A and B are shown apart, each in its own frame.
Chain A
Amino acid sequence: MSPRSDAPILVRLDDVTMHYGRGRDAIQAIDTVSLDIRKGEFIAVVGPSGCGKSSLMKLISGLHPASSGFVTVEDRPVKGPLKSVGMAFQASNLLPWRTVVDNVLLPLEIVQPHRSKIRRERAAYKAKAEALLAQVGLAGFTDKFPWQLSGGMQQRTSICRALVHEPDILMLDEPFGALDAFTREELWCALRDIQQARGVTVMLVTHDLREAVFLADTVYVMSNRPGKIVKAQPIDLPRPRDLDVTYTQPFQDLVHELRSHIGGKH
């Protein structure tokens, strides 16, 4: 149903459960989740606080093992950190001793094959990072330090850092949660455009249903802990989407529909 339903499957979760800790004290974070993410698909995961959204991200990126079930990426079982994931969080977590462009270059100093080339070809890599930063509107800020940037700009930088090594999957954990409403909408558009341009697969964790509906091809609603998927909602709004779409009836209907699946008082 979603616009990308013909693309090959990149991530597959099959009856996956996940616990923190062992034995009696173990906390179950994820309960029998099954879902597929197609290549180039933009999925959003929404749900109440503490329901296991971040845990789901850790599971797929291989940062935390499943207790049962299967997680596969490109048909290979996930056994450890994937190395082809870009992550960004609510806090930008930039390194304050590095300039903006040097922050963006950090992943290239870690991931092969860039790691062994970056010393020799620093100028080329730097140009690439600067182009990426220009794409999100940070052209004049590449040599600034993080503290010289606004919160929104820091978050743009953080997303560039997550994208610079051209990961297969971009994982964003409430990336706009700390921003004001206007900045947030600006960044929705920046993310929309950059995903459009690069065709990267995105998993976005968010509290904001409008954000999820505006950006995603499919929205998954999770229940209270232990997190179960209670609703998978394809978003058939045509692309490219303009901010105006958020004021249309079909958009509002989708938001209402999703809201009705989230626990708590109405």
Chain B
Amino acid sequence: MRLKDAGITVVAPVLFTVLLFALWEAGCKLFAVAPTVLPAPSAIWAAYLQFQKPIIENSLYTLWNTLIGFAIATVFGLLLGIAVGWHKAVYAAIYPVLIGFNSVPKVAVVPVLILWFGVGAVPAIITAFLISFFPIVVNVATGLATTEPELEDVLRALGASKTDILWNVGLPRTMPYLFASLKIAITLAFVGTVLSETVAANRGIGNVMMIASGNFDVPLVFAGLFILAILGVGLYAIFSLIELKVTGWAQRKTEFAMV
């Protein structure tokens, strides 16, 4: 049973992906689609091989900026989430602003950031941060707010301070919420960096794609897209693994609640 499950989770996605590319390749060949419209996978691969060095360099640059923005978002999101979950007054004060802020399309913010900080890494990092901290705040606050009131009573009756409760119960039980949000946040941070790079930058994979698209080098644009997709999947997978390691107990929680 185990072996069969593992087989399915590994074989099925690989098979599906291979099939997708085969169909794509065949479709392009069969209907003679112009490479400037939709390049075949083989053409994309060729473009990648041709520009391998700059692609990798610029991808690493984008990855680096993404991780910085994401790290700031994690720290800030965690602290703000704790503050929001800490007291009803903080929640009431901050939440409307937070929602309002999150509704602003970040594309509209990038030009302002570039105006303030000039073209370079800073606007990309800030965009990554701005776009990714919101789900972290919401999830941390939710995790804290849903602590069972009876469990709080048990601890308060022992004379536990609010910090005691936060430390012993609030934060540990919030970890699954936090890690669920980190998976989403890392993907969003990527979107933020690339978004900023496509508006204005002189380095980064977003910038490479903008230049390529200016030159109608569509296969190269697609190579960039693929790099983004691969990095996105990779980071998501890494955070899923960390999540499993750190909050493995939560996978059992549903079973636990049913007893």
Residues of A within 8 A of B (CB): 58, 61-63, 81-83, 85-89, 91, 93, 95-97, 106-107, 109-111, 145-147, 149-151, 154, 161-162, 165, 171, 173
Cβ–Cβ contact B259 & A149, under 8 A: yes
Instruction: Let me know if B156 is at the binding interface, CB within 8 A.
Output: yes
Q: What separation, in Å, do the CA atoms of A78 and B148 have in the docked complex?
A: 25
Cβ–Cβ contact A154 & B154, under 8 A: no
Q: Which residues of B contact A62 (CB under 8 A)?
A: 157
Cβ–Cβ contact A85 & B158, under 8 A: yes
Q: Which of A95, A147, A171 has the most CB of B within 10 A?
A: A147
Cβ–Cβ contact A162 & B154, under 8 A: yes
Q: Which residues of A contact B7 (CB under 8 A)?
A: none
Q: Which residues of A contact B169 (CB under 8 A)?
A: 95
Q: Which residues of A contact B250 (CB under 8 A)?
A: 96-97
Cβ–Cβ contact B158 & A165, under 8 A: yes
Instruction: Let me know if B105 is at the binding interface, CB within 8 A.
Output: no
Shortest beta-carbon distance from A194 to chain B in Å: 18
Q: Which residues of A contact B157 (CB under 8 A)?
A: 61-63, 81-83, 85-87, 171
**Given A63-B153, A96-B250, A107 contacting B256 (CB threshold 8 A):** no
Instruction: Let me know if B151 is at the binding interface, CB within 8 A.
Output: yes
Which 3 A-B residue pairings sit nearest by Cβ, starting from the closest?
A83-B159, A147-B256, A93-B151
**Given A89-B150, A91-B148, A110 contacting B155 (CB threshold 8 A):** yes
Which of under 10, 10 to 19, 20 to 34, or 35 or more describes the interface residues of B? 20 to 34
Q: What separation, in Å, do the CA atoms of A109 and B255 have in the docked complex?
A: 27
Q: Which of B153, B155, B172, B247 has the most CB of A within 10 A?
A: B153
Q: Which residues of B contact A63 (CB under 8 A)?
A: 153, 156-157
Instruction: Let me know if B94 is at the binding interface, CB within 8 A.
Output: no
Shortest beta-carbon distance from A64 to chain B in Å: 10
Instruction: Let me know if B95 is at the binding interface, CB within 8 A.
Output: no
Cβ–Cβ contact B148 & A110, under 8 A: no
Q: What separation, in Å, do the CA atoms of A151 and B257 have in the docked complex?
A: 10
Instruction: Supply 11 A–B pairs (Cβ within 8 Å), ascending by A.
Output: A63-B157, A81-B157, A82-B157, A83-B158, A85-B158, A87-B153, A89-B153, A89-B154, A110-B155, A145-B252, A154-B259
Q: Which residues of A contact B155 (CB under 8 A)?
A: 106, 110
Residues of B within 8 A of A (CB): 148, 150-151, 153-160, 164, 168-169, 172-173, 247, 249-250, 252-253, 255-256, 259
Q: What separation, in Å, do the CA atoms of A55 and B198 have in the docked complex?
A: 60
Q: What separation, in Å, do the CA atoms of A110 and B165 have in the docked complex?
A: 9
Contact among A85, A95, A146, A173 for B172, CB-based, below 8 A: A95
Q: What separation, in Å, do the CA atoms of A164 and B151 have in the docked complex?
A: 16
Q: What separation, in Å, do the CA atoms of A88 and B247 have in the docked complex?
A: 26
Q: What separation, in Å, do the CA atoms of A166 and B170 have in the docked complex?
A: 25
Q: Which of B158, B168, B173 has the most CB of A within 10 A?
A: B158
Shortest beta-carbon distance from A116 to chain B in Å: 13
Q: Which residues of B contact A146 (CB under 8 A)?
A: 256
**Given A97-B172, A109-B168, A154-B259, A81 contacting B253 (CB threshold 8 A):** no
Q: Which residues of A contact B173 (CB under 8 A)?
A: 95, 97
**Given A97-B172, A150-B259, A81 contacting B156 (CB threshold 8 A):** yes
Q: What separation, in Å, do the CA atoms of A151 and B158 have in the docked complex?
A: 24
Shortest beta-carbon distance from B84 to chain A in Å: 23
Q: Which residues of A contact B168 (CB under 8 A)?
A: 95, 106, 109-110
Q: What separation, in Å, do the CA atoms of A47 and B64 have in the docked complex?
A: 64
Shortest beta-carbon distance from B111 to chain A in Å: 46
Q: What separation, in Å, do the CA atoms of A103 and B172 have in the docked complex?
A: 13
The residue in chain A whose Cβ has the minimal distance to the Cβ of B248 is A97
Cβ–Cβ contact B153 & A91, under 8 A: no
Q: Which residues of B contact A91 (CB under 8 A)?
A: 148, 150
Shortest beta-carbon distance from A141 to chain B in Å: 14
Q: Which residues of B contact A173 (CB under 8 A)?
A: 150
Q: Which residues of A contact B158 (CB under 8 A)?
A: 81, 83, 85-86, 107, 110-111, 165
Q: Which residues of B contact A83 (CB under 8 A)?
A: 157-159
Q: What separation, in Å, do the CA atoms of A86 and B151 have in the docked complex?
A: 12
Contact among A106, A110, A147 for B159, CB-based, below 8 A: A110
The residue in chain A whose Cβ has the minimal distance to the Cβ of B154 is A87
Cβ–Cβ contact B154 & A145, under 8 A: no
**Given A87-B153, A87-B154, A109-B168, A96 contacting B249 (CB threshold 8 A):** yes
Q: What separation, in Å, do the CA atoms of A88 and B157 have in the docked complex?
A: 11
Q: What separation, in Å, do the CA atoms of A104 and B157 have in the docked complex?
A: 15
Cβ–Cβ contact A147 & B255, under 8 A: yes
**Given A83-B159, A147-B252, A93 contacting B154 (CB threshold 8 A):** yes
Q: Which residues of A contact B172 (CB under 8 A)?
A: 95, 97
Shortest beta-carbon distance from A164 to chain B in Å: 10
The residue in chain A whose Cβ has the minimal distance to the Cβ of B175 is A97
Other than the known A97-B249, A110-B168, what 15 A-B pairs have Cβ atoms closer than 8 Å?
A58-B153, A63-B153, A81-B157, A81-B159, A82-B157, A87-B154, A89-B154, A95-B168, A95-B169, A97-B172, A97-B173, A106-B155, A106-B168, A111-B158, A150-B259
